[in-house]
Amino acid sequence: MQVTTLRNFGREAHLRKKWDKLWREISERILRLPQREQNIILEDLHTAIESRILVMERINNANRDH
């Protein structure tokens, strides 16, 4: 089990690095906007991400059932 954890650790570290870069770039642009627009964008991002995750979870669960 520990070997699997270490193997996944490299993958997770790589993905975390990509996420950090993406959010740094996006956050710089968002922070330049007025507060109202920042709130709108953050709500939109939250909704979009939640919706995408839900769809992907449903697909993964459906694939497991077959």
Model-level pTM greater than 0.95?
no
Q: Are residues 19 and 38 in the same domain?
A: no
Q: What is the mean pLDDT of residues 24-29?
A: 94
Q: Are residues 48 and 26 in the same domain?
A: no
- Token reading at 65: 């059932």
What's the CA gap between 39 and 45, in Å, rounded?
10
| Helices and strands in the chain: count of H runs, count of E runs | 2, 0
pLDDT per residue over 2-18, tens digit each?
A: 555 556 778 888 999 99
Q: Which domain holds residue 52?
A: 34-66
Q: Are residues 19 and 3 in the same domain?
A: yes
